[in-house]
Amino acid sequence: MPDSSPASAKQPVKKPRIPVVFWLLLTMSLSLVMGTVLLSNDMKHLKAVGHYFGFDLLPEEVKLPPPKALPRPMPPATFKLPLHAVEAPVVQAASAFLRTWRISGPAMCAALRDAGIQTGDWAATSFNADTYECFFEHSGKREKDQLPNSTFVIVRGDGAGTINNMRVKIINPQTDQIGQLDPGILRIFEIMLQQPQWLDFHEALSAIKNLRDVKEDGFGASISFTHEGLNAGHYNFTLSLDATSGPQKRTRSYFSDRRWLRAPDPMLEIEREPPESKPESPGAEAPAASQEQHP
């Protein structure tokens, strides 16, 4: 008889159990595959999955416009100095400041006439057609207690109107109680010193007013007022413009009218300006109109 004991009974076969490590490795492998697929091709698949479920995982970056290019800086300006500006000055070619007449001969004669000194017109002299002048001469009568007095004024230059010199000779001039020159005669010297607009001869007019000798010069111009030693009461005045030193002569030669256009006479420019017309008031003719209506 068969053995029916429990020991001989057949036991069920147990299924093999998969270890946990296997599942971990499988999960990691699938995650790597899925991550590779989703992140490949610039994450195109990941964006598609997000768009499918209605949310945007990776919003598009706002691209800023490229910065404007800065303007190209201009090249630095270059200047070339002439050679004579950096070389040592040559003594033989040195020049000097030299003043010029700021008034023409005809304008000077007109200024004297306006002041009451009746000079003639600017005209050529009888002894030289290249020399022009205007002059004034007055001789007083001999009084009982006074010597005869006289005044001689001359402005001399050339045909272009350039003045060479101005001279005055007074003999036994009238003076006041303190010995100062008569204002009528002093006016001649005031005009001759004011019109050229040379303001550096400060002491000349005061010396002339008191009949004192004076000599001044500067920048090519010279002024002198002296009395004659052998003739008491005789006084000579000279105002001239003459280049005497070498540098002054070189300056005058360089700026001569043969090389440059002549500068316009500033006094003539002033005379050409029309006088300013005053505007008439709106009611200026109103009284006249009312008078015509109501005589």
Q: What is the pLDDT of residues 179-207, one digit of tens each?
A: 899 999 999 999 999 888 887 777 889 99
Q: What is the pLDDT of residues 34-45, one digit of tens each?
A: 777 666 666 666
Distance (Å, whole) CA 43 – CA 143 = 131
- Better-scored residue on pLDDT, 269 or 181: 181
In the prediction, which pLDDT does 286 show? Answer: 45
Contact indicator for 169, 152 with CB cutoff of 8 Å: yes
In the prediction, which pLDDT does 274 show? Answer: 57
Q: Which two tokens stand for residue 78?
A: 């270059």
Query: What number of H helices and E strands is found in the chain?
Result: 8, 7
pTM of this prediction? 0.56
Q: What is the pLDDT of residues 46-88, one digit of tens each?
A: 677 666 666 666 666 677 888 888 888 888 888 888 876 777 7
Distance (Å, whole) CA 149 – CA 233 = 9
Sheet holding 131-139, edge to edge: 123-124, 131-139, 150-158, 163-171, 234-241, 221-227, 214-218
Give 3-state DSSP helix, strand, coil % of the chain, rounded to 5. Answer: 30, 15, 50
Structural element, H or E, at residue 253 = helix 246-254
Structural element, H or E, at residue 241 = strand 234-241
Q: What is the pLDDT of residues 219-233, one digit of tens each?
A: 888 899 999 888 888
Cβ partners under 8 Å of residue 19, min gap 6: none
Q: State the average pLDDT over residues 126-130.
A: 87
Distance (Å, whole) CA 131 – CA 156 = 7
Provide the CB-side half-sphere exposure for 287 (13 A, CA): 2
Residue that has been written with the tokens 């010199």 in this structure: 165
